[in-house]
Amino acid sequence: MLKKIWLSSPHMGKTEELYVKEAFDSNWIAPLGPNVQHFENSIEDYIGNNVHAACLSSGTGAIHLALELLGVGHGDEVLCQSFTFSASANPITYLGASPIFIDSEEDTWNLCPVLLEKAIENRIKKGKKPKAIVAVHLYGMPYKVDEINAISRKYDIPVVEDSAEALGSTYKGFQCGSLGEIGILSFNGNKIITTSGGGALLAKSEEIKRRAVFLATQARDNAPHYQHSHIGYNYRMSNVLAGIGRGQMEVLDDRVAARRNNFDFYRKNLSEVPGIRFLEEPRGTRSNRWLTCILTPSYKIRESIRLALGNENIESRPLWKPMHLQPVFKDAISFTNGISEALFEKGLCLPSGSNLEQMDLERICNVIKKELV
Ligand SMILES: *Cc1c(COP(=O)(O)O)cnc(C)c1O
């Protein structure tokens, strides 16, 4: 059997083990400590734009805290990009609120500003102004930030910027994660850099960060004994895992470059294959190309490529199934235009790890060409 090629596997640099060892040597085996501090500082330096980073146990937890900090509560409605991973939407329900799903536009595959505004107008008319907007830079491609932020300002509805897949992507020179009211990152094992599991909340002020950390550490009041006047969570990142993150930040730019190279390789080598299309970067945006996605002419062709790759021990995956089509959200209100459904039907994510070799990429392209030419 040929070597397995994964969709997106962890890729360690040289210093992660050293920082983890530091945690052991100093006995900082706790949900705080010097590695957490260093990791947060390096995220803040990288993202810039005056963000304050709070490292957490997951990106999902970060979205949960972001929504709570923006005042989302029981009975509220939250607008959410439909074309995404379920973790963008699930935390809305943790708070007893309901997601309203909004379809995508064709230029970035992300939140459609036209439908977003239509949905807001509709909900306001029904006497129910939404409390927040969850917008996602899916596969690392920045959403239409200017358009979404203009709507956010016009209706005074804050944006939670789901940058779980977009660390290292930029919009008009600004890093993704710093473009909404609150940003979030994920360091899950398949993301562009990883701590095995983890996430971060990116706040616009020290005060918001302080409140995020407060909620993430069981909402302990300032007293010598344990006193609580809020319900809290156990969402802080371990100092051991933050050691991995500290090392990963040192190679982040290399990881982005490697993933962008994968994309360029695929586009160049599959350009002669009839019917295969790629998502181009709109002017002013730079995607980290977390996953390279192709659009095929039909569901049938998409499946034939996926199965052919599988037979060669190569992992690939259909694009995200839109939330408005998920059984668990069958009762949710949605505003659709058919775009995310078509993407789901015809799209495929190709192996995109930063640790892929030229040989692997050639192997993958050969299977696809053999299937289609
Ligand atoms: C991975 C991911 C998350 C959740 O991050 P976790 O760290 O796995 O909890 C949220 N949104 C999107 C779009 C993701 O891809």
Tell me the per-residue pLDDT of 199-252, one tens digit each, with 9 for 90 and over.
999 999 999 999 999 999 999 999 999 999 999 999 999 999 999 999 999 999
Q: Do the Cβ atoms of 59 and 37 come closer than 8 Å?
A: no
- Position 87 scores a pLDDT of 98
Evaluate: CB of 162 within 6 angstroms of ligand 1.
Answer: yes
**pLDDT, tens digit (0-9, with 9 covering 90-100), for 135-174:** 999 999 999 999 999 999 999 999 999 999 999 999 999 9
- Catalytic residue ranges: 191
- Position 1 scores a pLDDT of 78
In the chain, CATH 3.40.640.10 covers 16-249
Closest to 243 in 3D by CA, of 302, 286, 196, 205: 196
Evaluate: CB of 352 within 6 angstroms of ligand 1.
Answer: no
- Position 44 scores a pLDDT of 98
- Position 31 scores a pLDDT of 84
Alpha carbon distance 247, 19 (integer Å): 7
Mutate which of 67, 81, 82, 85 for ligand 1 pocket (most atoms within 8 A of beta carbon): 85
With 90 as the cut, is the pLDDT of residue 266 above it? yes
Q: How far is the CA of 184 from the centre of ligand 1 (A)?
A: 9
Average of per-residue pLDDT across 286-307: 97
DSSP collapsed to 3 states, 240-257 = HHHHHHHHHHCCHHHHHH
Closest ligand 1 atom to the C-alpha of 198? 7
Mean pLDDT score across all residues of the chain = 97
- Position 373 scores a pLDDT of 74
What are residue 155's phi and psi, to 5 degrees?
-105, 0
- Among 29-33, 104-108, 320-324, 340-344, the least confident range: 29-33
Closest ligand 1 atom to the C-alpha of 63? 10
Say which CATH class 252-372 falls into: alpha beta
Q: How far is the CA of 302 from the centre of ligand 1 (A)?
A: 25
How much of the chain, in percent, has pLDDT values that exceed 70?
100
Among the residues of 197-238, which ranges form H helices? 206-216
- Position 2 scores a pLDDT of 87
Evaluate: CB of 188 within 6 angstroms of ligand 1.
Answer: yes
Q: Do the Cβ atoms of 31 and 236 come closer than 8 Å?
A: yes
Alpha carbon distance 370, 373 (integer Å): 6
Q: Do the Cβ atoms of 246 and 67 come closer than 8 Å?
A: no
With 80 as the cut, is the pLDDT of residue 279 above it? yes
Beta strands in 93-194 (DSSP E): 98-102, 132-136, 159-162, 170-171, 174-175, 182-186
- If you take atom 14 of ligand 1, which residue's CA is the nearest one? 164
Evaluate: CB of 186 within 6 angstroms of ligand 1.
Answer: yes
- Position 32 scores a pLDDT of 84
Compute the half-sphere exposure of residue 145: CA atoms within 13 Å on the CB side of its CA: 27
- Position 271 scores a pLDDT of 86
- At 273, list the tokens: 């294959």
Alpha carbon distance 154, 194 (integer Å): 37
User: What CATH architecture is 16-249?
Assistant: 3-Layer(aba) Sandwich (3.40)
Average of per-residue pLDDT across 29-51: 95
In the chain, CATH 3.90.1150.10 covers 252-372
Q: How far is the CA of 173 from the centre of ligand 1 (A)?
A: 24
Please give the single-letter amino acid code of residue 275. G
Evaluate: CB of 19 within 6 angstroms of ligand 1.
Answer: no
- At 118, list the tokens: 């239509």
Closest ligand 1 atom to the C-alpha of 186? 7
- At 1, list the tokens: 């059997």
Average of per-residue pLDDT across 290-312: 97
DSSP state, 325? G
Alpha carbon distance 243, 237 (integer Å): 10
Q: How far is the CA of 60 from the centre of ligand 1 (A)?
A: 6
- pTM, two decimal places: 0.97
